[in-house]
Amino acid sequence: MDQRIDIDWTSCEGHGLCAELLPDHITLDEWGYPFVADTPVPARTVKRARRAATDCPALALKLMASPTP
């Protein structure tokens, strides 16, 4: 099952920890807010993605199952 990162934009405060934990999947804009790749999280990265979601200071990151086509 593919998983994707979802950001709750009303909660995100632009701390940037997510990009430090998942630099291959998340980049930051000039204000420190994340840009998430529009691709599923690779299986080898799911553990780090879970950590990024739980370590987010604003709890704005979620790892969600991708909708099936």
- Expressed as residue numbers, the domain containing 8 is 3-65
CATH classification of the domain holding 57: 3.30.70.20
Q: What is the pTM of this model?
A: 0.82
Residue partners of 16: CB distance under 8 A and separation at least 6: 28, 32, 34
SS3 track for 24-64: CCEEECCCCCEEECCCCECHHHHHHHHHHHHHCCCCCEEEE
Based on the structure, what is the number of domains in the chain? 1
The DSSP secondary-structure symbol of 68 reads P
Kindly indicate the confidence band of residue 1, based on its pLDDT and cuts at 50, 70 and 90: confident
pLDDT digits (tens, 9 = 90+) for 3-38: 999 999 999 999 999 999 999 999 999 999 999 988
Provide the pLDDT for residue 69: 61
